[in-house]
């Protein structure tokens, strides 16, 4: 199967700082990448969908100014959590779609804001 790499796997940052998470499709070109957030014992919640070269589409309730998404190439999308606060602490997962239906997932990034 295709490989999606997410970096870093975990990060601890101070409240008020910004954190960037990278998502790369290593062996295929992904026209669409998705960013999810997972709370403990909860489902993966879709935050936004990004298409290469265009603005991301955010789900209702997700602050686009806080969660900046850039999809600069067919193999790289980044999520920047700006001015992070403790309530932003969560597990963030990206996925990249190959074709129209199947998606491949990164290993996730555990963000802790202290």
Partner 1 sequence: AQSVSQHNHHVILSEAASLELGCNYSYGGTVNLFWYVQYPGQHLQLLLKYFSGDPLVKGIKGFEAEFIKSKFSFNLRKPSVQWSDTAEYFCAVTKGGGSQGNLIFGKGTKLSVKP
Integer angstrom CA distances of residue 61 from 50, 80, 91, 96: 16, 17, 17, 22
Quote the least distance from Cβ 106 to partner 1, whole Å: 6
Q: Which residues bind partner 1 (CB under 8 A)?
A: 1, 4, 6, 32, 34, 36, 41-44, 46, 49, 93, 95, 97, 100-108
Say whether 88 sits in a helix, a strand or coil.
helix
In the complex with partner 1, which residue's Cβ is closer, 21 or 108? 108
In the complex with partner 1, which residue's Cβ is closer, 88 or 104? 104
Task: Provide the CB-side half-sphere exposure for 46 (13 A, CA).
Answer: 12
């Amino acid at each position: 199967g295709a490989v999606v790499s997410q970096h870093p796997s975990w990060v601890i940052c101070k409240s008020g700082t910004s954190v960037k998470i990278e998502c790369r499709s290593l062996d295929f070109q992904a026209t669409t990448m998705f960013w999810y957030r997972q709370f403990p014992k909860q489902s993966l919640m879709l935050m936004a969908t990004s298409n290469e070269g265009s603005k991301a589409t955010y789900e209702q309730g997700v602050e686009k100014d806080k969660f900046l998404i850039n999809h600069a190439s067919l193999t790289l999308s980044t999520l920047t959590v700006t001015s992070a606060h403790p309530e932003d602490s969560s597990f963030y997962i990206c996925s990249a779609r190959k074709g129209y239906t199947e998606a491949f997932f990164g290993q996730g990034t555990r963000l802790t804001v202290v």
